[in-house]
Structure 1
Amino acid sequence: MSKKVAVILSGCGVYDGAEIHESVITLLRLDQRGAEVQCFAPNVPQLHVVDHYSGDEMNEIRNVLVESARIARGQIKDVKLLHMAEFDALILPGGFGVAKNLSDFATSGAGCTVQPDVLAACKAFVDAGKPVGLICIAPALAAKIFGAGVICTIGNDADTASALTQMGAEHHECEVSEIVEDEARKLVTTPAYMLAKSIAEAASGINKLVDRVLELAHH
């Protein structure tokens, strides 16, 4: 029996939204494994908009849900409509949108808060004991979602790992091709583009994460 997986996106584009390669790899692997997927995103303005060609900030306002719909080919819902009971697992790809739109980690660091609708959705999966996968920078939200003592990885970036530790997480260093699992909490994390030098390297860890999340959903 195929599993239903919710994927929360944070916009469209590495510098101000969801990392497109990570998102597509996640969706591709879920489809290859026969999972039924529904994408979600918060219906809120982006922190800012970045010109991905020049790297400059643009004088423009964009909506996280509208931008995320680009990756989901329009098949996306407001995260307020994410009903945990309808799904077996949850995955959040990375990209700066996680730190800028799903939370304010980019500006507040260890003192950050998670966007309320996203936090409520994530906590519902945790409370139900359903598996969660956090990719790239998304584990920055782990301590806010799971509480102190949660085990996770963002790879080996010392400054980011320090912020996670300040928030109460237990950070484990990890190679790009590997995953870190908190067995007690059914949380799976992988560094992806925190370390990846190519799309193939990013995929090596993401595929393992998706496979493990689906295994946990079957248990």
Structure 2
Amino acid sequence: MTKKVAVILSGCGVYDGSEIHESSAVLVHLSRAGVQYDSFAPNVDQMHVVDHTKGQPTEEKRNVLAESARIARGNIRDLNDLRVREYDALIIPGGFGVAKNLSTWAVQGKDCSVLKAVEDTIKAFHAAKKPIGLCCISPVLAAKLIPGCEVTVGCDTECEKWPYAGTAGAIKQLGCTHVNKQVNEAHVDTKNKLVTTCAFMSNSPLHEIYDGVGEMVKVVVKLI
């Protein structure tokens, strides 16, 4: 039978939605593996809209589902319509939309809340013992919702290559284990069926980001 994976997007654009290169890499690697996938997003307003030429918020209002449809080429559904029984695995690409639209991590860090539809979905896949793939900042969702899990966001020592290393410390404060990994590697928490990779948490060439996302997807598919 054809394997089916649900992909949750959080908008369109690194500073206020899903990171487009990561999202594309996820879909390309799933396609190459012969896996059927469906894209979902919450039908809610974005936290804010960022002018990506300036990196600054604007007064504009945008909807997460409508913006995510840009990446999914219009083939997307409301997250509330996702039925876990119909899918073998879940994958969530990164981007600041994860920390702004799927959760409040961007403003509250480890004390954040997670959008109920996202929380319910992650917990349901986990309870069903179905693999969950997370890249870039999205592993913080697992750290918040799955006690004692193991994830990676790359390296826990800040430097030019690892500008977001402080995230690893917040993950540890949540009682979870952070495992240092290189950009082309994925970490597998076998107990919880979590597969994580750092992607753009690392200041690395695009092809290395792409390869790391590919490794994450490959392991998720293998765990199905």
- TM-score norm. by structure 1 comes to 0.97
Q: List per-residue Cα deviations over 1:77-122 (Å, max 9, x = no partner).
A: 1111110000000000000000000000000001011100011011
Matches of 1:112 and 1:168 in 2, distance apart?
Answer: 15
Task: For structure 2, list consecutive stretches of 5 or more residues without a partner in the other structure.
Answer: 156-163
Query: Partner of 2:179 in structure 1?
Result: 172
- Whether contact under 8 Å (1:142, 1:169) holds in the other structure is no
Correspondences of 1:85-164 after superposition (within 5 Å)? 85-147=85-147, 149-156=148-155, 157-164=164-171
SS of residue in 1 equivalent to 2:171:
helix
RMSD of aligned alpha carbons = 0.9
Matches of 2:36 and 2:103 in 1, distance apart?
Answer: 27
Q: List per-residue Cα deviations over 1:137-193 (Å, max 9, x = no partner).
A: 00111122322x100000114311111111222111110000111000100000001
Residue 196 of structure 1: CA displacement?
4.3
Correspondences of 1:1-219 after superposition (within 5 Å)? 1-147=1-147, 149-156=148-155, 157-217=164-224
Matches of 1:64 and 1:198 in 2, distance apart?
Answer: 28
What is the aligned length? 216
SS of residue in 2 equivalent to 1:164:
helix
- Whether contact under 8 Å (2:154, 2:198) holds in the other structure is yes
SS of residue in 1 equivalent to 2:39:
strand
- Whether contact under 8 Å (2:14, 2:20) holds in the other structure is yes
Residue 54 of structure 1: CA displacement?
1.4
Task: For structure 1, list consecutive stretches of 5 or more residues without a partner in the other structure.
Answer: none
Residue 43 of structure 1: CA displacement?
0.6
Give identity over the alignment, percent. Answer: 52
- Whether contact under 8 Å (1:196, 1:202) holds in the other structure is no
Matches of 2:203 and 2:79 in 1, distance apart?
Answer: 28
Matches of 2:141 and 2:102 in 1, distance apart?
Answer: 9
Residue 199 of structure 1: CA displacement?
1.8
Residue 204 of structure 1: CA displacement?
1.1
Extract structure 1 runs of 4+ deviating beyond 6 A.
Answer: none
SS of residue in 2 equivalent to 1:189:
strand
- TM-score norm. by structure 2 comes to 0.94
- Whether contact under 8 Å (2:183, 2:204) holds in the other structure is no
- Whether contact under 8 Å (2:110, 2:144) holds in the other structure is no
- Whether contact under 8 Å (1:152, 1:182) holds in the other structure is yes
SS of residue in 1 equivalent to 2:52:
coil
